[in-house]
Amino acid sequence: MAPSPYVDDARDIKEDNPFESMMSRFDEAARLLDLDPNLYTIMRWPNREITTYVPVFMDDGHVEVFVGYRVQHSFARGPAKGGIRYSPDVNLDEVRALAAWMTWKCAVVNVPFGGAKGGIICDPHQMSPGELERLTRRFTAELIDFIGPERDVPAPDMNTNEQVMAWMMDTYSMHARHTVTAVVTGKPVDIGGSRGRRDATGRGLLIVSNEAVKKFKLNIPDTRVVIQGSGNVGGTAARLMHEVGYKVTAISDIYGGIVNEKGLDVPAVLKYLGENKTLEGFEGADRITNAEILELECDILMPAATENQITSKNAHKIRCKVLAEGANGPTTANADKILADAGVFVIPDILANAGGVTVSYFEWVQNRMGYFWREDVVNERLADIMVASFNDVVRFAEKHSVNARIASYMLAIDRVGSDVRMRGIYA
């Protein structure tokens, strides 16, 4: 008999390594599902990892070479799907983890994509628009044989935006000799983007938070919300939750946060942030650090900044009823048990922030059919999928007596594994 392929549950993991955190949850979910060992062996590994070295003429005339990655984790359910980030901190393990999370995320919300992720090691804040355009176009050209509407569909992520997607789409189209809008999502609406895409991740967080409020019989006006992050995800979630009556008591940017237990005037906060590029100096609230904001007493805590914010070092200080993960991987695997023991209901990232990929799927569909939907139609269809997915995860958790995070992994692995089994291995 062949030895079991499952990784030892008691192994030590590097807590700050998002790939190891992701794999520890995958391993636990696979064991609980009693996943076929052959399927387990296949699904542990990405389909393809691409490393490319991207030469770029800088504005002063010298050439800089940037390292770029694209990891395509799975094609079992359809084309790979996932964002591209520009950051000095990009590394291959991070991209591997994010690509796998995209596979599980797409499966949880049952859209026909696999997972991918990309990144370039650079500091976009120190680069001119011309340098960023040349970097983006050359990186796209390096990936030209690996991306496409039927292969791999990139999207914006950290420090990339609609303009970057427009450059990618145009570069791909120049090589194809015709316009191919469906090669990326997150584009400007005028060149094939979907209405509602910009707000989609934040709106998805609102939708799953509403479902959690129903589950625990909370009252929206009395529900205190703390949000770490104020970018496209955190800022949008804050605005939308304020609009429907939640009491947003704290929010932060990269420099720190502000808190007012009586509730923040969110439109005023976001206006101030837009004008000053920082929350520092905002009147009507007290300053607080990004570490302290996570430890505030609240009903819903929404980490919407970056990975590894809640760890074994601070998880015991978390004082919320519901943790809705707006960022990818904000909670480490080592923190999960601490939160579970404290009775915190975690809406995991692969469910909570799946609004973005869901509307990206809508954009891809609209591009391929050449017909675009009204924003209210996009939002209605997003709500249908997010509510159904939340309930799927809760039912799976109750059926298997596990927490929502492991239930979401089990649900995703079950769906992907079923498709891998049906497709078989081409040899």
Which amino acids are annotated catalytic? 117
Specify the residue for token string 């949880």. 108
Instruction: Say how far apart CA 292 and CA 193 lie, in whole Å.
Output: 38
User: Which residues touch 363 (CB under 8 Å, ≥6 apart)?
Assistant: 185, 186, 187, 192, 193, 194, 197
Instruction: Say how far apart CA 146 and CA 141 lie, in whole Å.
Output: 10
Q: Are 222 and 234 spatial neighbours (Cβ–Cβ below 8 Å)?
A: no
Instruction: Say how far apart CA 273 and CA 280 lie, in whole Å.
Output: 9
Amino acid in position 66 = F
Specify the residue for token string 């060149």. 191
What is the token pair recorded at 83?
Answer: 């964002």
Q: What is the DSSP letter of 72?
A: E
What is the token pair recorded at 206?
Answer: 């609102």
Instruction: Say how far apart CA 304 and CA 280 lie, in whole Å.
Output: 19
User: Which residues touch 277 (CB under 8 Å, ≥6 apart)?
Assistant: none
What is the token pair recorded at 411?
Answer: 């649900």
Q: Are 54 and 66 spatial neighbours (Cβ–Cβ below 8 Å)?
A: yes
Q: Nearest 5 degrees, angle CA 153-CA 105-CA 169?
A: 15
Q: How many residues does the chain have?
A: 427
User: Of all helices (H) and strands (E), which one includes residue 192?
Assistant: none
User: Of all helices (H) and strands (E), which one includes residue 51?
Assistant: strand 48-57
What is the token pair recorded at 214?
Answer: 């129903």
Q: Are 81 and 360 spatial neighbours (Cβ–Cβ below 8 Å)?
A: yes
Instruction: Say how far apart CA 116 and CA 389 lie, in whole Å.
Output: 21
